[in-house]
Structure 1
Amino acid sequence: MGQRRAVLIAGPTASGKSALALDRARRGGGLIVNADSMQVYDTLQIVTARPSSEDEAAAEHRLYGFVPVTQRFSTGQWVRAVEAIIAEASPARELIFVGGTGLYFDALTKGFADIPEIGEAAVLQVQQEIQALDEAGRMALLLKEDPETAARLSVADPQRAIRALAVKRATGRTLSSFQADQRPGLLAEWSLEKMVLWPDREILRGRIARRFEAMFESGAVDEVRAVLSQQLDPSLPAMKAIGVPEISAWLAGELDRDEAIERAIIATRQYAKRQRTWFRNRMGDWPRIVPG
């Protein structure tokens, strides 16, 4: 039997990745696997631009909306979920990975650090400890407990500091030591068709604006209400999904409707810019596809 085949479709948000993956799956019977770290969460189907119910009925989709918004979901957990899909899928079936999370594609092609899962209690303890610290204080703490990770960071933002400190305290090993001991990419021995969707910048800006305005009208507000009703920890990833803070502020009367939409559009455009930078720097040899 020949090599197993996979298609990897990366690209910035609103570039048309999901539509391309669906077309490919319909034509070839492939299995679509989510490679977007926000689309793993339930409740926020519209806010995170997950495939519609109709699209999911047209072709098999995996790893979409299967993690409760009350939880954190790491790259390591995603890797293990993909390993299970690979084990159960027919070797003859094409897998189509689609998304905008660069770390997930790195795990597929370049390798990944197999870091043990860190319990919620350990994460919360670190979070409480550093919440009163400014950037300099966080960096000082990192320098003391994981100087190698601290040296790699230009800014010790709260999320990265919490991650590194929680790993060190829960395992006795530094995050940098785990990262230095990488496993090979999951698809290292596969035949891969790689692509990065690369729409014109102004076209992408227009798509982002139109998409969020449509989200606002088609159920995004109800999704945010459902999340807010659970009174979740604001540091959870789902609470930071673009659209959740902005709609939350509108519901609280802190912004008017147009301001909320404009802030979400700006945040999405900034995110798309960061994605393009990642793809340019880390996936520079992947073919660029300019969508029609």
Structure 2
Amino acid sequence: MTKEAEGIRAVLIAGPTASGKSALAVEIARRCGGTVVNADSMQVYADLRTITARPTSAEEAIVPHRLYGHVDGAINHSAMRYAADVAAVLAELRQAGSLPVLVGGTGLYFKALTEGFSAIPPVPEAVRSAFRARVAEQETGLLHTELGAVDPEMAERLKPGDRMRIMRALEVHLATGRSIASFQGERHPGPLDGLPLLRLFVSPEREEVRARIDRRFETMMAQGALDEVAALRERQLDPLLPVMRAHGVPGLIAHLDGSLGLDEAIARGQADTRAYAKRQVTWFRHQMAGWQAVAPDAALDVALRAVCA
């Protein structure tokens, strides 16, 4: 009997981008009879396989993978929707006797799984699309003023230049007639809430991560990332959608539009990704209590001893 059968119900692997998490997850799943489940907010999108560093076909052939590339780029996927997707997958894996190995760098996703999420109802796509079409050319300062008229509490909380959060608050108020703040005290439990879990944060040296990020971006370019972004650009999606803000996408679109040289676009993508890796480390340090930081070369042994030794 494995230790998973005795207690541990799932393995959670987090860490900065390019830290080797995906390869670690595959090896744990291979050794322990598990399934790799995505916990990265960009790797859910079907439009972007290469530039989001989704697992390769070879990796997917080693063990089952779930929740990769299952969402269309036109969808504004949320932590609530992600948690619902995971809940369905967990039920299937329990039935099959497969250990869930959740891996990714999106702290909010992990938090939704383990601590629950606010009860903000999803904004209907028709409402969202109509609203965004109306305000597409409107200055952010004017949007903040509009928010102040209908939801002064959130207007007070948000910076006048924070366009994304201002629009989110306006959309929720438009769809529900309530301030987004009124939902934040109401929480739904996450699908992993209260379960025995192994939580590992892969923590390589900062300079090693930075170098790996730069090399990986160059590799992605060689593997067709520019063509992938060009196809996404042709869809003419709302630039505020998450898929349009994936690291590397804005710079490459600017290059395709003729406003940025290719070398500059690559450098911008690398810099944005390095900054994101730093934020990931900060998030987990301050937001995710109970996670065990492990060096990359020790992570597999730690996991195997805890789960399937």
TM-score over 0.5 for the pair: yes
Partners of 2:243 and 2:201 lie apart in 1 by 25
* Correspondences of 1:51-70 after superposition (within 5 Å): 51-70=55-74
What residue is the counterpart of 2:27 in the other structure? 23
Contact 1:123–1:163 (Cα < 8 Å) also in 2 = no
1:275 equivalent to 2:280? Answer: yes
Instruction: Note the residue ranges of structure 1 that are not aligned, 5 or more in a row.
Output: none
**TM-score scaled by structure 1?**
0.92
Partners of 2:156 and 2:281 lie apart in 1 by 25
Number of positions where the alignment pairs a residue of Structure 1 with one of Structure 2: 292
* Correspondences of 1:229-240 after superposition (within 5 Å): 229-240=234-245
Partners of 1:68 and 1:272 lie apart in 2 by 25
Look up the equivalent residue of 1:72 and give its one-letter code: N
Deviation at 1:263, TM superposition (A): 0.8
Deviation at 1:133, TM superposition (A): 4.8
**Would the alpha carbon gap of residues 49 and 242 (structure 1) be closer, same or farther in structure 2, given more than 3 Å must change?**
same
Deviation sequence 1:238-271 (CA, Å, 0-9, x none): 1111121212222233222211111111111111
Partners of 2:148 and 2:205 lie apart in 1 by 41
What residue is the counterpart of 1:124 in the other structure? 129
1:33 equivalent to 2:25? Answer: no
1:102 equivalent to 2:97? Answer: no
Contact 1:3–1:189 (Cα < 8 Å) also in 2 = no
Deviation sequence 1:198-226 (CA, Å, 0-9, x none): 11111111011000011111111121121
Partners of 2:147 and 2:161 lie apart in 1 by 8
Look up the equivalent residue of 1:184 and give its one-letter code: P
Look up the equivalent residue of 1:143 and give its one-letter code: G
1:112 equivalent to 2:136? Answer: no
Deviation sequence 1:45-89 (CA, Å, 0-9, x none): 111110011111111111100111122211111111111112222
* Correspondences of 1:113-192 after superposition (within 5 Å): 113-154=118-159, 157-192=162-197
Match of 1:73 among 56, 61, 77: 77
Q: Give the 3-state SS of the residue equivalent to 1:89 in structure 2.
A: helix
Partners of 1:117 and 1:40 lie apart in 2 by 18
Q: Percent identity?
A: 49
Contact 1:150–1:156 (Cα < 8 Å) also in 2 = no
